[in-house]
Amino acid sequence: MKKIVDWLIKRRNKQLHIPVVIGSASDSELQFRRVLNTLRENKIMVMTKDDGIYIRLAGDVNKGECWMDNFVKVADC
């Protein structure tokens, strides 16, 4: 988890390189791009509980970002 936090802090103001895909992208590629856009804009909510660390992506769908309803567990404590 520390590596993820360090990565997010270091790259907060930097843009990630997203390769150009010629032709139509698959659904999984589009979802991946949305997640990258959300990480680039640092629109992440983090919640800690007794059993672990949870995150939720809170991007703007209209801007090509990812938005999640629920928190997802990413690490055990």
Domain coordinates in residue numbering, the chain:
2-76
Res. 26 pLDDT band, cuts 50 70 90: confident
As to burial, measured by CB atoms within 10 angstroms (0-12 exposed, 13-18 middle, 19+ buried), residue 58 is: middle
At residue 13, the pLDDT reads 47
Residue 4's pLDDT is 72
- Per-residue pLDDT tens for 31-48? 888 888 898 888 999 999
